[in-house]
Amino acid sequence: MSRLEITVRDAATGSVLEVAGDLDHVTAHDLRTRITGLPLRPDQCLVVDLAGLAFCDSSGLTALLVARAHAHGARADIVLTGVPANTLRVMRIVGLDQVFTLRPDADGAAGHP
């Protein structure tokens, strides 16, 4: 089990969260708290970069849905980038690939909500 690390940086179009480690029932609260504390403005794009994600369970997926609700509540967009293959597979099975905008990497994501 690897510790969850969340790094926030600002981009021209909004915040970029880099998430690394295990996103599970123990750590999902940390991500929810960090995201819901982010000030978002209408028309911004929140990018959640999951390239460093080692593991994600259903609690982690729920935390990502909380992030989506927070962004949409602020009339902002949300993009998930760098989703690992194992997490992407689960997202496709449960239909979350139809709910989130997915991009291969964070570099181009913020400009393409």
Q: Is there a domain that residue 93 lies in?
A: yes
Contact 12, 30 (CB under 8 A): no
pLDDT at 45 (0 to 100):
95
pTM comes to: 0.91
Q: Is there a domain that residue 58 lies in?
A: yes
Q: What is the pLDDT of residues 66-83, one digit of tens each?
A: 999 999 999 999 999 999
Among 29, 24, 30, 25, which residue's Cα sits nearest to residue 5? 30
> How many domains are contained in the chain?
1
Q: Is there a domain that residue 85 lies in?
A: yes
What is the extent of the structural domain holding 55? Answer: 5-107
Q: Is there a domain that residue 113 lies in?
A: no
Residues 6+ apart with CB under 8 A from 33: none
Q: What is the pLDDT of residues 31-52, one digit of tens each?
A: 999 999 999 999 999 999 999 9
More confident residue, 88 or 112: 88
User: What CATH number does the domain containing 77 carry?
Assistant: 3.30.750.24
Q: How does the average pLDDT of the chain come out, rounded?
A: 92
